[in-house]
Chain A
Amino acid sequence: MKNNIIILGGGQAGVYAAREIRQNDSKSNIKILGEENLLPYERPPLSKDFLLDKKKEEDLYFYSSDVLKNENIEFENISINKVDFENKKLFAKNDNVYSYDSLLISTGSENKKLTLDNNLKNDIYYLRNLEEAKKIKEIVSNKNKITIIGGGFIGLEIASSLSQLQKKVIVIEIGNQLMGRIIPKQIADLVQNTHIEHGNEIILNKQIEKITKINGHYEILLNDNSLIETDFIIAGIGSTPTVKLFENTNLRLDNGIVTNQFCETSIKDVYAAGDVSNFYHPFYERNMRLESYQHAQNHGICAGKNIAGVKTEYTSIPWMWSDQFNLNLQLTGICDEYDEIIERGNDINNGVIYFFLKNNKIRGACGVGIIGKVGRDIRITSKLTEKDNIVDKQILTDQNLKLNKLIQK
């Protein structure tokens, strides 16, 4: 049967879903509606190799327009401002109307903004898309002292890049550790040391009271009355799922669009995938919302299969990375439900991994090391987590024993 399938959101989840649908369904019309006038592109390099000029815009695109054309996938740059789920229609700002039989929502997430009581809104920069990355890259070339508000992945990756561009960088974090939302303190402290060794200043446990603009520079007043002078401010204080369009509809929302393990929402024929979805994970038996490259891709593919009628559970063990200076940090599974922590290695040059276990089974792990040093073990840990077996803790602890021995058992 030939259906009209619309994918709302032209990011990674959307484009992977589109191609997966086409793999399983040669007849249906597939149209991606994207708010950015760009083909889907990779975001991870924006804060790293793009700022450092090691990657250009043309290196970022997932696919050329020819790939999508050859698979008969339409891509349209349009902004939707109303959804009528009952009649299966989307309304665009320019009065275009799009009818669908199946809809995938992959609108992603958006930056939380600082709440400031004066007119500095346009003076604070954020980095999520290519346009913002281009602006930051252009402006920082003339600035020296740069302050980053928020010590999460994005803030620290920018801090690492700007330090490599010989900038004086200050990071202000409200919490008592860096990357506190998902990274264990043991690992965060190792990353913090590396930033300090490279000359970055890290300020923890401080809130911004006021920002004042004086002669093109800024004064940031913190809650301990200390004052930071800076030439440029970038904020990375977290993100929220992009769901404004659905707020007054019947679509069930709770920290994103609530979906089951098949990417199905509370409304028939409406699916959600990627950052915007708060999905049920059958292995962890709970809902979660993830913002990562691997998840956007795999969740998009899973949604694509389900839309094409190939009923598929989403069971991917979460995995994410961050690259800062010469470090590669990786996390797999979840690290906030455990009754035991096991450490493997204690030298960042060879890699350090913390395993989080519950009832003697691995639930997740987080590691950091010089680039290349933790990836294999983290990958094996994802497999071990999925196997859900009781593990030999001696092998986990001893870096001289290969972790793949546990898989072969």
Chain B
Amino acid sequence: MSEENWIEVGSTDSIEEEDLIRFDHQDKTFCVYKLTDGFYATDGICTHEAVHLEDGLVMDDEIECPMHQGIFNIKSGEALSPPACEDLQTYPVKVDNDKIFIKID
């Protein structure tokens, strides 16, 4: 795991608890979440149709797509409710000096 793959997202106070922010890096887009037990990251685009999850609703450990209410587990990426059936890619997250980093391979 090389250090250069950790990309800085922003400061830990840039996300409210039980909420998310969108993070774009090169040609990829992500969602970074603050849950009660820490920070998590997933792909930004719903696996069902091309809509960004940044406008979705975070409830407990789940993100619900704003377009058709497909639901994913934020921690595992598992698709929990149709019409979403394909899992969402997740990414490792670490916090260092109040800054959030995600690891993109």
Contacts and interface: CB of A to CB of B under 8 A. Distances in A.
Are A and B associated in one complex?
yes
Interface of A: 42, 44, 49, 62, 293-294, 297, 319, 321, 323, 328, 371-376, 379-380, 404
A405 to B, nearest CB: 12
Contacts of A294: 69
Contacts of A380: 57
Nearest to B85: A62
Given A42-B83, A297-B82, A372 B49 contact: no
B66 A376 contact: yes
Q: Is the interface of B mostly helix, strand, loop or mixed?
A: loop
Interface string B53-73: 011110000001111110000
B103 interface: no
B52 interface: yes
A374 B57 CA distance: 11
B69 A373 contact: no
A379 B69 contact: yes
Contacts of B68: 44, 293, 321
A372 B51 contact: yes
Given A62-B82, A297-B82, A371-B51, A328 B56 contact: no
B55 A375 contact: yes
Contacts of B55: 372-373, 375-376
Contacts of A62: 82
A379 B55 CA distance: 11
A44 B51 CA distance: 16
Contact of B69 (A42, A319, A404): A319
A375 B65 contact: yes
Contact of B67 (A293, A319, A371, A404): A371
Given A42-B83, A379-B57, A374 B66 contact: yes
26 contacts: A44-B68, A44-B83, A49-B49, A293-B68, A293-B83, A297-B82, A319-B69, A321-B67, A321-B68, A371-B67, A372-B54, A372-B67, A373-B55, A374-B66, A375-B56, A375-B64, A375-B65, A375-B69, A376-B55, A376-B57, A376-B64, A376-B66, A379-B66, A379-B69, A380-B57, A404-B57
